[in-house]
């Protein structure tokens, strides 16, 4: 990726003159089975650009209650877009089409107009849960029955595709737009992609400019993205295997509980409530052994496997966890 940056052919992307960006966007559109694609600076920007493109001020968007867009993107859809979020609880992060239909506001003077449904795949807070093509199609049919658009926050869509052993296009066939990250599992230093119809991307390009995402010699961002799409997708299987090993070892550790049903990709969420400590306390103790993790809820912790985390790192992590658990039990 560093060599690709060094050797990238550059131009002005705002004027669509950067050949490296143009090449990446064409590749990304093909990977997603869409007409066109757009390089954005981050997943958060990509989701906001997509939502703003699909909606108008005062519209209502249905999102899963634990979705990243609703919880962790600083309220951009309301603060910037003037859009009303309607959080709807799914099962393990997956929206039930019947609940989507119930969440659609009635037509009338008293109600915001529901215009968009957002899906997250894989679902971060649910533990890297995969939403299948069948589940996506069922949501799509309800949306289209009521004239709604469908956007997918596919930050980790290639993890979902690898887990299901399907082409990524099978997951995007029944959405109007999709965002995916070049960073995270694909290992780029920066960047995400939005894909959709030609008309959608033309509108999205202007929103990107308004949000500060119009860049000049952006080929230095796009060059690693090309490497990512060419070489980094298949290796996600390694991350999934490592996550599974970690989860199974955690499940055998006294005082720690893991719902193995949720460990489908590269995210592992475990509970330390039986140890009598908070997640923040456990994470702090673990960091003293050089292992980084994130507290989620009061007693749950998230770990993510990625490139650079090998099987020996899983072993080291478990040794550190055992030390922390033993230390807690002593006190």
Domains and their CATH numbers in the chain: 2-231 (3.40.640.10), 236-330 (3.90.1150.10)
269 beta partners: 302
Token digits for 193? 């992609």
Q: Which of 6-10, 195-199, 325-329 has the lowest mean pLDDT?
A: 325-329
Token digits for 320? 């550190």
Residue 151's pLDDT is: 98
Using DSSP bridges, classify how beta strands 60-64 and 114-120 pair: parallel, antiparallel or unpaired: parallel
| pLDDT > 90: percent of the chain | 99
**Residue 330 banded pLDDT, cuts 50, 70, 90:** confident
Of 90, 307, 270, the C-alpha closest to 189 is 307
Task: With a cut of 90, say whether residue 12 has pLDDT above it.
Answer: yes
In whole angstroms, what is the distance from residue 196 CA to residue 171 CA?
13
Residue 166's pLDDT is: 98
Residue 101's pLDDT is: 98
Name the pTM for this structure.
0.96
Of 171, 194, 189, the C-alpha closest to 24 is 194
**Residue 87 banded pLDDT, cuts 50, 70, 90:** very high
**Residue 331 banded pLDDT, cuts 50, 70, 90:** confident
**Residue 233 banded pLDDT, cuts 50, 70, 90:** very high
Q: Which strand ranges, in their side-by-side order, compose the sheet holding 294-295? A: 257-258, 267-271, 300-304, 294-295
Residue 267's pLDDT is: 98
Q: Strand, helix or coil at 154?
A: coil
Residue 43 CB coordination number (10 Å): 25
Residues 6+ apart with CB under 8 A from 102: none
Q: How far is CA 259 from the centre of its chain?
A: 21
């Amino acid at each position: 990726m560093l060599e690709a940056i060094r050797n990238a052919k550059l131009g002005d992307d705002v004027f669509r003159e950067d050949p490296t960006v143009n090449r990446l966007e064409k590749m990304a559109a093909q990977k997603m089975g869409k007409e066109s694609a757009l390089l954005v600076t981050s997943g958060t920007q990509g989701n906001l650009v997509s939502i703003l493109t699909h909606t108008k001020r005062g519209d209502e968007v249905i999102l899963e209650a634990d979705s990243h867009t609703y919880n962790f993107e600083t309220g951009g859809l309301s603060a910037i877009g003037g859009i009303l979020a309607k959080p709807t609880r799914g099962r393990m992060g997956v929206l039930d089409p019947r609940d989507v239909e119930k969440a659609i506001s009635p037509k009338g003077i008293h109600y915001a107009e529901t215009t968009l449904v957002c899906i997250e795949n894989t679902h971060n807070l649910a533990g890297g849960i995969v939403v299948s093509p069948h589940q996506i199609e069922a949501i799509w049919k309800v949306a289209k029955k009521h004239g709604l658009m469908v956007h997918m926050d596919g930050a980790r869509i290639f993890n979902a595709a690898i887990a299901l052993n399907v082409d990524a296009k099978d997951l995007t066939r029944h959405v109007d737009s999709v965002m995916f990250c070049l960073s995270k599992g694909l290992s780029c230093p920066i960047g995400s992609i939005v894909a959709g119809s030609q008309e959608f991307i033309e509108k999205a390009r202007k929103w990107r400019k308004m949000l500060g995402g119009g860049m000049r010699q952006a080929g230095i961002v796009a060059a690693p993205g090309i490497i990512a799409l060419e070489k980094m997708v298949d290796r996600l299987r390694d991350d999934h295997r490592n996550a599974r090993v970690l989860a199974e070892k955690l499940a055998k550790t006294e005082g720690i509980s893991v719902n193995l049903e949720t460990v489908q990709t590269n995210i592992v969420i475990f509970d330390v409530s039986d140890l009598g400590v908070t997640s923040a306390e456990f994470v702090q103790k673990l960091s003293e052994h050089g292992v980084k993790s994130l507290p989620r809820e009061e007693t749950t912790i998230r770990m993510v496997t990625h490139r650079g985390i090998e099987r020996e790192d899983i072993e080291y992590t478990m040794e550190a966890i055992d030390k922390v658990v033993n230390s807690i039990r002593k006190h």
